Structure 1
Amino acid sequence: MKDFPHGTVHEAGEDLQKALRSDPELFGLWEKLTPIGRNEFICWVEDAKQPKTRERRILRTCEELIEGKKRPCCWVGCIHRTDKAPSAWQQAVLIDKKAKS
């Protein structure tokens, strides 16, 4: 079996890998994404707090790839990357929100 292409920071879980490998065309679209694009989808899936949310995000990842999207819709981006500072939007939405909790 072919090696699975992961993201720049995150590695895809077995459930996401299985979904993406379920269709050769879908897997081909995944392989064509940049490592940063794959990282964004993986981070979005990994950020799910509940198993049902994770399942929906995996399904949506497959749908968005087929729709031609290169990044998850409505996602502020991975805050785990160390190659760039978090954007103002990430600060406001993710980091500051966690500080208030």
Structure 2
Amino acid sequence: ADLADVAQPAPSEEPDAPRPKTAAPLEHAAAVTEKVNTEIQRAADLMACIEDGLDAADERIQQKRAAAQEAVDAAARAEAEAQAQLEEEQRQAAEREEKKRQEEE
């Protein structure tokens, strides 16, 4: 039986009838239990809010890391493309020089 139910007077009892001496400790225990349950629920709600906040922060951090990695990758691709273009221009210049030298001979 629930302590709150035990502490309540039976329907046949009159509300003004004196309660037995054992009712007061039971009522106190029921009140303490209810307060503890309320505090546990508040703590659980707070933990859920904290977990939600941490999850949201973690998601933002992962998005920032992904964006930073994409920027690093894009910079590396751009550098590789620029290097390849420079090498191609140097190759073409060397070919022109070789052709010009051959024409002069």
TM-score by length of 1: 0.19
Q: Which structure has the higher relative contact order (CA within 8 Å, separation 6+)? A: 1
Looking at secondary structure, tell me which structure has more helix per residue: 2
Larger Rg computed on CA atoms: 2
TM-score by length of 2: 0.18
